[in-house]
Structure 1
Amino acid sequence: MGAMQRLELRQGQSLTMTPQLVQSIKLLQLSHAELAAYVEAELERNPLLQEGETPVDAPVPSLADFLRAKQKAEAAGPRIVPGPPPSRADAVPASSGQTASAGHSELKPDMGDMLAQATSLSEHLEAQLDLATADPRLRVICEHLIHNLDEAGYLTEDLVEFSARLRIASEEAEAALRLIQSFEPSGVGARDLAECLGLQLRERNRLDPAMQTLLTHLHLVARQDFAGLRKVCGVDQEDLAEMLAEIRRLEPKPGLAFTPAAIDVLVPDVLVRSASDGSFTVELNPETLPRILLNRSYYAEVAKVVRKDEDKSFLSDCLQTASWLTRSLDQRAKTILKVAAEIVRQQEEFFKEGIAAFRPMTLRSVAEAIGMHESTISRVAANKAIGTERGTHPMKFFLSAATGEGEHSAKAVRHRIRQLIEAESPADVLSDEAIAQKLKADGIQVARRTIAKYREALRIPSSADRRRRHKLKV
């Protein structure tokens, strides 16, 4: 029979990515905090790994130490590389060869204790309650109300439902609430924004009938319907401007002063410093990469005396894992440094002149310049930061697309728009079209609709709203 040609479709399975390659990819996108936690777990699990350099007088691990480490590793379960959460937290120990930067040290260990010792809103109010009344029944009702306040200091539970739940008369609940509303901070215990502002104005002796009417029409303030406000309040433009200025000086959420702000420490993975010749040096931050070594002498000693097959298998697995981890960490550091160096090269003008000189730069442009895939650049940029003389910025901050009508970075254009609006005078408020014309004169081609989009992203009101605000002098 003669030979025949035909097409056949066959399905099959093949291993294109090894488990270790998958783990290496995950390691690349971890922040330094997650990486430190992962390496610490590996140091506990793998007896062949050691942190930093072993002291000369350090005792040599024995076979018993190895067997104890084996039992501990088996109890810990399978090895897991964590995914990259969005937070940036503490600084971690560091990698080879670089010198530490004094300006990027860890948080002091007592910072959390200082925050924990801060007085809470409920404690602050209960301290005032001790001085305000000796009536035990009233004190109990007030304590229940205090613990029903949210973090902003508002009473969110309906007072009628509160009275029914405690089985007390509504008059008692009202009296307790009035007592709490007389405490500091002014405005605490309010049931809505209007009541909160009213309490503060009453304390300042500024709650006249016109102001009371204004508080009942806060929806007109939100819409900036100044003509409607003048009509319902029965005041002229000058009086309305003074009233609105008074409102803006009040605190809409008085309880937040007792809520400690979350500390978000952005520790740079890469440090950029200017040199005397005008160039820039790029180096890894020695505080963000772990320093681990493979103890081959310990492996050789244990390999001589281990007898059981399962112990030999564990020893071999430890050697393979330790070798992979040290190589992966070294490759991770080199990749981060390579990407950071290219970012600095493309954004050199930013490091010299600031945001106004920001250039368009995308994942693709960086990937093509250094011969890597875009997905690799994306993983490197995730959860990493670059420390510069202009502050510490997330690595993704330096990736900015060009405007649709030119070769200018969107970040630089937004910065220029903000500058133009901040420099405008009350008599010459710039419309979006006028801003577009001014940018065109500077060589930046941007459409009016793009100006509007950038202005809204910057939370800058329209020219009509800005003009009304200038007229009210607020």
Structure 2
Amino acid sequence: MALSANLFLRQSQSLVMTPQLMQSIQLLQMTHIELMQFISQEIERNPLLEMVADDGDLGGDSADPTDRPPPISAETHHANDDAPAAPSLDSDWYEENGNTSLNDRLDANFDNAFSDEGSAVRPDAPELLSQWKSMPGNSGETGEGFDLDDFVAGQISLRDHLNQQIPFALSNDADRLIAAILVDHLDEAGYLRADLDEVSSRLGRDRDAIEQVLETLQTLEPAGVFARTLSECLAIQLRQRDRYDPAMAGLVENLELLAKRDFNTLKKICGVDEEDLIDMLAEIRKLNPKPGSNFEHSATESVTPDIVVRTDPLGGWKVELNPDALPRVLVNQNYMAAVGRQGGTKDSGDQAFMSECLQSANWLTRSLDQRAKTIMKVAVEIVRQQSAFLEQGVDHLRPLNLKIVADAIKMHESTVSRVTTNKYMMTPRGLFELKYFFSVSIASAEGGDTHSAEAVRHRIRMMIAQESTEAVLSDDDIVCTLKSSGVDLARRTVAKYRESMNIPSSVQRRREKRAMAKVPAI
């Protein structure tokens, strides 16, 4: 058989993950803060990108007020809408205009404006001007006024607070050196996480000397600092309150029995009756198990909802994109045209750079537009599925999974998963993460509709909260009660849900309720 070269035309499909496609997928799962950081980086490297500020002004100083882009308006959607729309991002803004002065653009005349410069302020003490720049009449050597940051109180840390007390507690330099090393081994809660034998070998000092310094340090404020265990922390605080007697020492040394609510054994160990034990428990509750936590100032992170759900007066629900979480990025076509007119792109390298910037800017605006549309589609479907929850509460939360939403909006489950990650929805019932509306299904005891696991956990929590001292519900009792209401749940599942909500067992709850029932009302 002779061999010969032939030409064939064949059509085939293949999945190609381009860098831009991968970046678009990453944009879906970005939080609001991460998205703003990404856009800021793109604006720095791309001269054609501009961001509209919250007040409607463009990021650039050369923007004309008459050429500002219209604000992005999230259209209103009802929960029963079939095809939700999404906000449109206009990439062509800013028509070409001639250079005008500030007075012409604002139609204002500043010639007759009063001057902000008043008469010179006479200094109160001229001889102190060089030392106090905030004094009236002193503008500083550089002509600057006082700095407001100089008057802002700084946040003191736990180590700084202790280092201020150590010189008054220890007079020996060697002891202060030991104290400085022990301070460096404190954790955020104020506990000492150091091996005294290791510290002793490093410094060449006896362990007794290290322990003596540690004993002095445990008298510093806040009370309970430099403790090595929870029992020692509570004991230090009780000593400073002059409440550390033998009975209290027995209670502090058996905290594991207190966690189990084994009050009968504690009464025997402490040698007290039930009334004294209740008073001791009240004293324990007043103590701080983490004395150093008050000095840890972590930045408060606010959550910006991506979706806002409101009640529609005509019936149903209004689903809107939150404009505060929607970045407004625009392409400056006027800058591209101006560069071309001035002959700045005659070089082939410059032309390639500007073309790449234009392509990247258009891709980013389209990706943000697609991101907003996808989030809106998922949110509308979630509201449609969980309409009963919004109307009647957690008891009516339906079981929902990613596949149900993905099939309804004709998307892949992975896309829905990325959209619901770190995205929040503001509803009349509060702020919820989109993941909250997805829960596993629990079969019905009567063969009816299934129940949501979150709704079942809420029922268990409410049943335990309403139980009385004489009728504490066991896990078997909870199973029978749920089965009578149509929820088929195993006992081990009830125990798992109860432990996940940090609810003690029925034996521990019964002991605690009986003890608290004997506490006199305040």
Distance in 2 (CA, whole Å) between partners of 1:14 and 1:366 is: 26
Name the residue aligned to 1:34.
Answer: 34
Letter in 2 for 1:398: F
Tell me, yes or no, if the aligned pair for 2:443 and 2:451 is still in contact at 8 Å: no
Are positions 1:206 and 2:243 aligned together?
A: yes
Confirm or deny: 8 A CA contact 1:95 1:288 kept in the other structure.
no
Partner of 2:287: 250
Could you tell me which amino acid in structure 2 is paired with residue 32 of structure 1?
A: H
* Equivalent-residue separation in structure 2 for 1:408 and 1:113 (angstroms): 59
| Change in 2 beyond 3 A, CA 1:192/1:303 | same
Pair 1:58-2:62 in alignment: yes
Aligned residue type for 1:432: D
Letter in structure 2 aligned against 1:371: K
Alpha-carbon distance change, 219 to 116 in structure 1, aligned in 2, over 3 angstroms: farther
- CA displacement at 1:426 relative to structure 2: 0.6
Paired residue for 1:424?
A: 467
When residues 312 and 182 of structure 1 are mapped into structure 2, their CA distance, relative to the original with a 3 A threshold, is same
Choose which of 73, 98, 105 in structure 2 pairs with 1:97: 73
CA contact (8 A) 2:262 2:511 kept: no
SS at match of 2:441: coil
The question of whether the paired residues in 1 share the 8 Å contact of 2:395 and 2:455 is answered with: yes
| Superposition deviation, residue 460 in structure 1 | 0.9
Task: For residue 423 of structure 1, report the CA deviation from its aligned partner.
Answer: 0.4
**Partners of 2:21 and 2:307 in 1: CA distance:** 24
Shift of 1:176: 2.6
Q: Which residue of 137, 146, 163 corresponds with 2:183?
A: 146
Within the candidate set 380, 383, 398, 2:422 is matched to 383
Is the CA contact 2:440–2:453 (under 8 Å) kept in the aligned structure 1?
Answer: yes
**Partner Cα distance (1:145, 1:444) in 2:** 56
Match of 2:330 in 1: 293
CA distance, structure 1, for counterparts of residue 316 and residue 511 of structure 2: 48
Match of 1:439 in 2: 482
Deviations 1:364-386 (CA, angstroms, capped at 9, x unpaired): 11112222221111111112111
| Alignment match, 1:401 | 440
Q: What is the CA–CA distance in structure 1 between the aligned matches of 2:464 and 2:456, rounded to whole Å?
A: 12
Corresponding residue SS for 1:366: helix
**Mapping for residues 62-461 of structure 1, pairs under 5 Å:** 96-97=72-73, 117-132=154-169, 134=171, 136-303=173-340, 305=343, 306-405=345-444, 407-461=450-504
Q: Deviations over 1:1-29 (max 9, x none)?
A: 9xxxxxxxxxx995533332222222112
Task: Please state which structure has a larger fraction of its residues in helix.
Answer: 1
Residues 231 and 252, structure 2, Cα contact 8 Å, conserved in 1: yes
SS class of match (1:254) = coil
SS at match of 1:175: helix
What is the CA deviation profile of residues 220-272 of structure 1, one whole-angstrom value per residue up to 9, with x for unaligned ones? 33444444434433344444444344334322221112112452321111111
Label 1:438 to 1:56 Cα distance change in 2 as closer, same or farther (>3 A): closer
1:310-357 residue CA offsets vs partner (Å, 9 max, x unmatched): 222222222222221111111111111121111112112222232222
CA contact (8 A) 1:270 1:387 kept: yes
Per-residue CA deviations over 1:429-456 (Å, capped at 9, x if unaligned) read 0112222232334333333332222112
Structure 1 gaps, min length 5: 2-11, 61-93, 100-111
Q: Partner of 1:465 in structure 2? A: 508
CA contact under 8 A between 2:262 and 2:508: conserved in structure 1? no
The alpha-carbon distance between structure 1 residues 18 and 58, as it changes in their structure 2 partners (threshold 3 A), is: same
Distance 1:275 1:363, change over 3 A: same
Cα-Cα RMSD: 3.2
Change beyond 3 A, Cα 1:319–1:380:
same
Residue 125 of structure 1 deviates from its aligned partner by 2.2
Bigger mean CA deviation after superposition, 454-463 or 304-313: 304-313
User: Which string of whole-angstrom CA distances, capped at 9 and with x for unpartnered residues, describes residues 165-213 of structure 1?
Assistant: 3334444433332222222221112222222111112222222222223
For 1:433 and 1:59, the matched residues in 2 are separated by 70
Q: Quote the offset at 1:214 in angstroms.
A: 3.0
Distance 1:113 1:452, change over 3 A: farther
The DSSP-based 3-state class of the residue aligned with 2:297 is: coil
For residues 405 and 74 of structure 2, the distance between their equivalents in structure 1, rounded to whole angstroms, comes to: 25
Amino acid at match of 1:415: H
Using the size of structure 1 for normalisation, the TM-score is 0.79
CA deviations 1:64-87 (Å, max 9, x no partner) are: xxxxxxxxxxxxxxxxxxxxxxxx
Indicate conservation of the 8 Å contact 2:51/2:328, yes or no. yes
Distance 1:171 1:58, change over 3 A: same
In structure 2, the residue matched to 1:71 is: none
Cα distance between partner residues in 2 of 1:114 and 1:377: 49
Q: Secondary structure at the match of 1:273?
A: strand
> Residue type matched to 2:284 in 1?
I
Point out the more displaced range, 154-163 or 129-138: 129-138
Q: Which residue is equivalent to 2:104?
A: none
**CA 300–439 in structure 1, closer or farther in 2 if over 3 Å, else same:** same
| Structure 2 portions without partners, runs of 5+ | 2-11, 65-69, 76-148, 518-522
Count of aligned pairs? 420
- 8 Å contact 1:429–1:463 — kept in the other structure? yes
* Pair 1:25–1:160, CA change in 2 (3 A): closer
* Per-residue Cα deviation, 1:34-85 (whole angstroms, up to 9, x for no partner): 111111122122222222375998289xxxxxxxxxxxxxxxxxxxxxxxxx
User: Do 2:261 and 2:512's aligned partners in 1 also have CA atoms closer than 8 Å?
Assistant: no
The amino acid that maps onto 1:385 is Y
Q: Tell me the distance in 2 between the aligned counterparts of 1:467 and 1:147.
A: 44
